Chain A
């Protein structure tokens, strides 16, 4: 049963959780709000984890506020280092071990988790995933002062880290079992341009093989690839992918697919349970970026304060933080996109337009100096979810 005197409970203290709380407070100063987070609850921007070295910022400097500061600013309660262990959608409660907490509305904003590599060799403690501020702090505590970083994964995060860590003085090598960078995001000419840009600042690529074994080697590691090559490094970063966290929702009987399934009101299959951000699959779309998250936070704040509001996604290009070769991409819609890439290229400046037979623009990828053309192309693109 819904208990309207119980708080709105938000699980998660990332950009989704805090921006929803901010938007809610703009509309309702009194509504009781409780945030529950497994982290220390500091407010920070996840995309900035990709530019920490280049900007000379430590984990502490990337934190914009403490949990207590945010609680004070937003007139809410924030329970830190606290994991929700179960959700009872019929009773409108969440469990924290033996404790039961009532909610009037529940928002799942707990994000995505890094896919963990399955690697033999016994050096797991030297392999880092950097998926939140605490991960970043742990990585910096070990990596600062060292020299050689092996990065597993050549996608957006792997390439951003390679660029940033190179700016921070590291020698970076990327290993990934694919034949290009950004295998799911960029057409080949654009991917090659980014690779060339990163190679130009000293990043080494090993595309094709998989890291099959990582062993301790003095203070560092020695990685064996499945083509027999070996790479010595001081520390390893795993950036092989992200997947929405869904297990706790699935355990509660909430419908999940790739992410937690939501309609355009961001409502899940359970009454009074909503979701947004990297854990959400909104009308079939899992978009692990800030722009959709912010649109969702604004719409959901209205819905939760009594004005049901569907979220709209406009044109949402992704800017990749690789200053060695800047990239802006608006991927063509998956699945039903019949069309082809039309590519113009001058060196590492690539303009790739994905057009259907009628000539309509459905997506684009721009690198180098061509990123300036995004403004004109954005005007031509259809909204992702009008």
Chain B
């Protein structure tokens, strides 16, 4: 499981935790997150996330 960070605001998507409040169940891999997903904090699209080691 990996983590992905929004390069615009720093919000973290943790694959293990998912984003249940956005309708993404825990354990959802980033590649399986819908293409129209937007960052809940700043609204940028999926292309503006990058994988991070935390």
Contact = CB atoms under 8 A, between A and B. Distances in A.
Interface of A: 15, 19, 45, 47-48, 51, 64, 289-291, 293-295, 319, 321, 375
A68 B20 CA distance: 39
Interface residues of B, number: 11
30 contacts: A15-B8, A19-B44, A45-B8, A45-B9, A47-B8, A47-B9, A47-B10, A47-B42, A48-B9, A48-B10, A51-B10, A289-B42, A290-B9, A290-B41, A290-B42, A290-B43, A290-B44, A291-B41, A291-B42, A291-B43, A293-B43, A294-B38, A294-B42, A294-B43, A294-B44, A319-B9, A319-B11, A319-B41, A321-B10, A375-B21
Nearest to B38: A294
Determine chain B's interface SS by DSSP, over half rule.
loop
B43 A64 contact: no
Interface of B: 7-11, 21, 38, 41-44
A294 B44 CA distance: 6
Given A47-B9, A319-B41, A375-B21, 18 more contacts: A19-B44, A45-B7, A45-B8, A47-B10, A48-B7, A48-B8, A48-B9, A48-B10, A51-B10, A290-B9, A290-B41, A290-B42, A290-B43, A291-B41, A291-B42, A291-B43, A294-B38, A294-B44
Contacts of B44: 19, 290, 294
Determine chain A's interface SS by DSSP, over half rule.
helix
Q: Which 4 A-B pairs have the closest CB atoms?
A: A294-B43, A290-B42, A375-B21, A45-B8
Residue among A290, A293, A295, A375 with max Cβ neighbours from chain B (10 Å): A290
Contacts of A295: 43
A59 to B, nearest CB: 15
Nearest to B10: A51
Nearest to A289: B42
A7 B45 CA distance: 26
Contacts of B43: 290-291, 293-295
